[in-house]
Structure 1
């Protein structure tokens, strides 16, 4: 889709005309909601952004004495969608929460404030708002732009004599993995990969998206699709198999891969140099830096390429959107909207978005030299985007519960040797069709 391509191209053009955010880029230290005391409860999923969000909230409330911001984070292996539903069902509805795109726009219809008049809307890159629109109205503010692929340790690759720039196809990746596997002892690694089989979002959402991002042009197309063909099902299998066969196995069996979680993968294995490659995205930068600052400067993103599609690509898109609860009173909604606007458009907030959140902003106006992404993963994503070597994120258009409760659950059975791949695909096709009836 042209809009998606424009989005990806524009994200890397962070050298736009100065002053694009002049109308909404200045710090605002005045009280919100006419000085009335307001409490804004935020219920969000992004564990990696928790500390930065806490800092931002404190900075904002120091200048807006009448506003109290409470933040609750549910993520890192927990089921955010289920937790959010429970939160609403309990009567403790948050003022700000997260939605993923077309499917969740439908799921939460009636509880989403129309944000079309917000000042940041006109500054969003082309395509960044597409998955948050219904009938031309905007119901979500994009978090950031993210990309994922095979994150690799440059020091290990150099020691193994592998040039990562030569890896474009799956065959190239297989060759590199074979080399790494043959040199595990001298490289000091336990395995080439660490696949977090316990994390349904990694396999059921992100790995599957590499295949389906080449089948559907965007998330809206996926949302509107009555069936899924899995045209690239064989390539999907290869991406999983290479991680399973060469992956970290706690007890030596494939089944034990299903006990590996995000923390084990990123913190205990990759960040400590015990594996060479993991399937993740630029959101891990802060975690790696906190464990090994030197390693954080020496990581990059390899392509996740499927045979029969464009070589050398990674998926790039908007991961989630900030939503404002339409059920809240006018003062609370105003304060919630003001905080989000301040965070992404004020001079102070923009610095936090880059330096603390380590986000790739989905908005124009970040042209200043101190507002450029600095971590190597963000730089790699911009490099892929500039070259047009990206595929869209379509998983926000998957049927509700399909990727985790159905597809990923079957993938876990496949990893354990309890289900054939043909059955994984046939079950996925049937469950998708059933959900769309």
Structure 2
């Protein structure tokens, strides 16, 4: 959706000069350090990935120790609150130098605040297609944060204890049968000695609009559009695979502890699903991606080593793949001062292109880099290794949700929540989703 998210108010505020920088420097070297008056350059980073916040802060502190002329402030707002919080930043007196955006719709909305990064050295090392969603008229406006993948993350030990060979679960029907078998064993108490708090096969965080309206919904839309760019250009959504999407949602909810009252899932959030679900072995399967590794590791490093990823099946369409794409992009505020922009670019270059930064990206942030010059650095995170396995096998579907109308995911999630609560039929969900897409494209 080509919405004017920032709109005329931002333009007026820009004219009145509210986007002045946080610090000045007469001159600055290419690595972000001051070389002139000795003034401190302050770079504010605003990002949305809670799972990397601690490790990113540690990386910042390391960078500051090596570049005493630069101070970097990090603020993280995760989940669905990020978009509104970023808008408030831009509308207020607290603009930031580095922030994250998701793709074509975000780029169109914030275009006048985006510094072109085309001339940065890292651009030549981005893997094929890695910057497609942030390239406009030949100019690159974002640095890929990471390649990420999501599917159905499962506990290998639980499946092994139940006698289920996870390697055979490459179709919807095979998964459905195995989950039914596992749930019957849980209900019978046969796994209770080894897994005393295990109560259900799955947990589905229906409260989270990004899980429902972005990730689950994407499984169907990826096959309809094929790319975020095509989704962004489309004035309509047909839901060609709407019935298969219903099957997927039914699969992910009928083996939860809320299966007798699916409305209860509308109160399940990310923390309950991950930290209070998979991480404590209360459930065996969740729809999530490799970004959960730091949170699982904080609970149990041993458990992290026992996790794998099953496909996220779109019945009768594509059943043996996971969804893989560039998660978000680092962007630099074009309204910041030259010194601040130089320092911001230097930090990003250090983090993703220096030897020490590359090791941080792989081993501390647990990210899969979208660059081709990480030779000799092994991925240590088990879930990231699983994503790479699917990528190497060509078993992936694309992320297209960054081409959706901004905010449409919340509408989709609300409609699916109504379906789970029994107040909307699936046919009504699809019809409303279609109508909302068309209306939001006109804004």
The question of 1:419 aligning with 2:427 is answered no
1:225-277 CA-partner distances (Å, limit 9, x unpaired)? 11111111111111111222211339x63211111111111011111111010
* Pairing of 1:205-354 with structure 2 (within 5 A): 205-249=214-258, 253-354=261-362
Deviation at 1:431, TM superposition (A): 1.1
Deviation at 1:365, TM superposition (A): 1.4
Map residues 151-230 of structure 1 onto 2, 5 A cutoff: 151-184=153-186, 185-188=189-192, 189-230=198-239
Distance, in Å, in 2 between the alignment partners of 1:49 and 1:219 is 25
Who is 1:390 aligned against?
396
Map Cα deviations across residues 183-239 of structure 1 (whole Å, 9 max, x no partner): 112223211111111111001100001111111111001101111111111111111
Structure 1 residue 50: deviation in Å? 0.2
Q: TM-score normalized by structure 2?
A: 0.89
Q: Equivalent residues in 2 for 1:75-154 (5 A)?
A: 75=78, 77-154=79-156
Corresponding residue of 2:370:
362
In 2: Cα distance, 1:132 partner to 1:418 partner: 39
**Deviation, structure 1 residue 78:** 4.6
Would the alpha carbon gap of residues 398 and 33 (structure 1) be closer, same or farther in structure 2, given more than 3 Å must change?
farther
Alpha-carbon distance change, 345 to 254 in structure 1, aligned in 2, over 3 angstroms? same
* Bigger Cα Rg: 2
SS in 1 for 2:434: helix
SS of equivalent to 1:120: helix
1:49 is aligned, of 23, 28, 52, to 52
Contact 2:152 2:311 survives alignment (8 Å): yes
SS in 2 for 1:343: helix
Q: Distance in 1 between matches of 2:290 and 2:435?
A: 33
Over 3 Å counting, the alpha-carbon distance change for 1:121 and 1:157 in structure 2 is same
User: Which range moves more in the overlay, 309-318 or 121-130?
Assistant: 309-318
* 8 Å CA contact 1:32, 1:334 repeated in 2: no
CA distances 1:143-176 after superposition (whole Å, capped 9, x unpaired): 0000000000000000111111101111111011
Give the match for residue 399 of structure 1.
Answer: 405
Query: Per-residue deviation at 1:29?
Result: 6.8
Distance in 2 (CA, whole Å) between partners of 1:83 and 1:199 is 17
Match of 1:11 in 2: none
Matches within 5 A, 1:1-20: none
The answer (yes or no) to whether the contact 2:248–2:315 under 8 Å persists in 1 is: no
1:95 and 1:344 map into 2 onto residues whose CA distance is 17
Segments of 4+ in structure 1 off by > 6 A? none
1:90–1:158 Cα change, 3 Å: same
- Aligned twin of 1:59: 62
Task: Give the Cα separation in 2 of the matches to 1:42 and 1:325.
Answer: 10
Q: State the distance in 2 between where 1:264 and 1:273 align.
A: 12
User: Hey, what does 1:12 align to over in structure 2?
Assistant: none
Kept in 1: contact 2:32–2:346 (CA 8 A): no
Contact 2:42–2:72 under 8 Å retained in 1: yes
C-alpha deviation, 1:387, in angstroms: 1.0
